[in-house]
Amino acid sequence: MYFYLILERKRGKTMLYYEWKKILVKKGTKMALLVLAAVLAATCYFAIHDVYYVDDNGEHVYGLPAISRLREMKKEWSGPLTEEVIEKVIAENRRINDTKEGRADDVQSSNIAYGWKLGFHDIYYLLMRSFCKFREADYYKPNSLMPEDARYFYGNRVRSLQEWLEEPEQEYRFDDEERAWLIGRYEAVETPFYYDYADGWKQLFAFASTVIMLMMLVLAFVCASIFSGEFQQKADAVFFSSCHGRGKAVAAKLGAAFLFVTVVYFVTVLLYSVIVLGILGADGADLPIQTNHVSWKSLYSLTNFQQYLLIVFGGYIGTLFFSLLTMLVSARTKSAVLAVIVPFFILFLPSFVGGADMFWVDKVLALMPDRLLDMKQCISYFYLYRVGGRIAGSLHILPGLYSLLSVLLFPVIYAVYRRMQVK
Residue 110 scores a pLDDT above 50:
yes
Which pairs from 102-110 meet CB under 8 Å and 24+ separation? 107/58, 108/57, 108/58, 109/58, 110/58
Angstrom distance (rounded) from CA 402 to CA 317: 7
Instruction: Count CA atoms within 13 Å of residue 287 on its CB side.
Output: 25
Percent of the chain beyond pLDDT 70?
A: 87
Would 70 be classed as within a structural domain? no
Residue 57 scores a pLDDT above 90:
no
User: Considering 168, 195, 222, which residue would you say is the last residue of a domain?
Assistant: 195
pTM: 0.88
Would 66 be classed as within a structural domain? no
Same domain, residue pair 177 and 204 = no
Is residue 81 a contact partner of residue 189, using CB atoms and an 8 Å limit? no
Q: How confident is the model at residue 362 (pLDDT cuts 50, 70, 90)?
A: confident
Same domain, residue pair 413 and 289 = yes
Q: How many C-beta atoms surround the C-beta of residue 389 within 10 A?
A: 5
Would 54 be classed as within a structural domain? no
Domain that holds residue 237: 2-48+198-418
What pLDDT sits at residue 94? 95
Strand pairing partners for 384? 393
What pLDDT sits at residue 7? 40
Angstrom distance (rounded) from CA 240 to CA 104: 78
Is residue 43 a contact partner of residue 272, using CB atoms and an 8 Å limit? yes
Same domain, residue pair 307 and 215 = yes
Is residue 170 a contact partner of residue 164, using CB atoms and an 8 Å limit? yes
User: Considering 130, 160, 195, which residue would you say is the last residue of a domain?
Assistant: 195
Same domain, residue pair 181 and 210 = no
Residue 344 scores a pLDDT above 90:
no
Highest mean pLDDT among 62-76, 276-290, 357-371: 276-290
Among 17-26, 71-80, 345-354, the minimum mean pLDDT is found in 345-354
Residue 8 scores a pLDDT above 50:
no
What pLDDT sits at residue 273? 97
Residue 247 scores a pLDDT above 60:
no
Residue 358 scores a pLDDT above 70:
no
68-105 pLDDT, tens digit each: 999 999 999 999 999 999 999 999 999 999 999 888 88
Q: Exposed, middle or buried, 419 (CB in 10 Å: 0-12/13-18/19+)? A: exposed
Same domain, residue pair 284 and 404 = yes
Q: How confident is the model at residue 342 (pLDDT cuts 50, 70, 90)?
A: confident
Same domain, residue pair 205 and 316 = yes
Residue 223 scores a pLDDT above 50:
yes
What pLDDT sits at residue 357? 58
Q: Stretch 18-41: mean pLDDT, rounded? A: 87
Q: Stretch 30-37: mean pLDDT, rounded? A: 93
Among 36-50, 112-126, 223-237, the minimum mean pLDDT is found in 223-237
What pLDDT sits at residue 333? 78
User: Considering 170, 195, 220, which residue would you say is the last residue of a domain?
Assistant: 195
154-192 pLDDT, tens digit each: 999 999 999 999 988 887 788 889 999 999 999 999 999
Among 117-126, 145-154, 239-248, 362-371, the minimum mean pLDDT is found in 239-248
Q: Give the DSSP H/E element, type plus range, for residue 392.
A: strand 390-393
What pLDDT sits at residue 356? 52
Q: Is the peptide bond before 192 cis (omega within 30 degrees of 0)?
A: yes
Would 68 be classed as within a structural domain? no
Q: Stretch 60-75: mean pLDDT, rounded? A: 90
Same domain, residue pair 120 and 14 = no
Burial call 238-248: b when 16+ CB within 10 Å, e when fewer: ebbeeeebbeb
What pLDDT sits at residue 22? 78
Would 24 be classed as within a structural domain? yes
Same domain, residue pair 211 and 224 = yes
Same domain, residue pair 90 and 40 = no
What pLDDT sits at residue 1? 35
Would 337 be classed as within a structural domain? yes
What pLDDT sits at residue 122? 95
Is residue 28 a contact partner of residue 260, using CB atoms and an 8 Å limit? no
Angstrom distance (rounded) from CA 151 to CA 86: 8
What pLDDT sits at residue 352? 64
Same domain, residue pair 207 and 323 = yes
Is residue 257 a contact partner of residue 93, using CB atoms and an 8 Å limit? no
Average pLDDT, the chain: 85
Phi/psi for 10 (5° steps) reads: -140, 110
Please choose, from the candidates 158, 157, 176, the residue with its C-alpha nearest in 3D space to the C-alpha of residue 384.
176
Residue 243 scores a pLDDT above 60:
no
**Number of domains, the chain:** 2
Q: How many C-beta atoms surround the C-beta of residue 87 within 10 A?
A: 18
Would 176 be classed as within a structural domain? yes
Same domain, residue pair 250 and 214 = yes
Phi/psi for 339 (5° steps) reads: -65, -40
Would 182 be classed as within a structural domain? yes
Q: Stretch 389-404: mean pLDDT, rounded? A: 91
Q: How does DSSP assign 291-360, residue by residue?
A: GSGGGTT--S--BHHHHHHHHHHHHHHHHHHHHHHHHHHHHHHS-HHHHHHHHHHHHHHHHHHS-SS-HH
What pLDDT sits at residue 408? 94
Same domain, residue pair 297 and 169 = no
Highest mean pLDDT among 232-241, 252-261, 317-326, 331-340: 317-326
Q: Stretch 43-50: mean pLDDT, rounded? A: 92
Is residue 47 a contact partner of residue 203, using CB atoms and an 8 Å limit? yes
